[in-house]
Amino acid sequence: SQTIHQWPATLVQPVGSPLSLECTVEGTSNPNLYWYRQAAGRGLQLLFYSIGIGQISSEVPQNLSASRPQDRQFILSSKKLLLSDSGFYLCAWSLRTAGSGNTIYFGEGSWLTVV
């Protein structure tokens, strides 16, 4: 069966510091990968998605970037965090086969507090 792991689970970082959140998927190959953010009062926002190694699409211009160095690894980064980057970050995956009915599966999330 497929599993998704992301870490760290919680993170408190000062303004201006860098960020790295990692996510890996096991039990499948060539998945689509996603990063979402859930901020207070703003619902769930798609930040990045990837259909393959090195192929990243950004949905919202921001202070963050994403990379996919390996097929089942997805990394969310920032060089200098802002207070507004605080939130709950969720990594997710789905099968790459065509069609909107494929379920997107989420990791447990990472709580980021920028102070």
Partner 1 sequence: GNSVTQMEGPVTLSEEAFLTINCTYTATGYPSLFWYVQYPGEGLQLLLKATKADDKGSNKGFEATYRKETTSFHLEKGSVQVSDSAVYFCALRKYSGGGADGLTFGKGTHLIIQP
Q: How far is C-alpha 61 from the chain's CA centre?
A: 15
Q: What is the DSSP string of 34-76?
A: EEEEEETTTEEEEEEEEEETTEEEESS-SS-EEEEEETTEEEE
Kindly state the smallest distance separating residue 106's Cβ from partner 1, in Å: 4
What is the smallest separation between the CB atom of 96 and partner 1, expressed in angstroms? 8
Nearer to partner 1, 19 or 92 (CB): 92
Please say whether the beta carbons of 23 and 5 come within 8 A: yes
Tell which positions 37-56 bind partner 1, by CB under 8 A: 43-44, 46, 49-51
83 binds partner 1, rule: CB under 8 A: no
Q: Tell which one of 23, 74, 81, 107 touches partner 1 (CB under 8 A).
A: 107
Angle at the Cα of 108 from the Cα atoms of 103 and 109, rounded to 5 degrees = 105
Q: Which residues contact 65 (CB under 8 A, 6 or more apart)?
A: 56, 76, 77, 78
Q: Which is nearer to partner 1, 14 or 99 (CB)?
A: 99
Per CB under 8 A, the segment of 21-29, 63-71, 73-81, 99-107 that binds partner 1 is 99-107
In the complex, the residues that contact partner 1 under the rule CB under 8 A are 32-34, 36, 43-44, 46, 49-51, 57, 59, 90, 92, 94, 96, 98-109
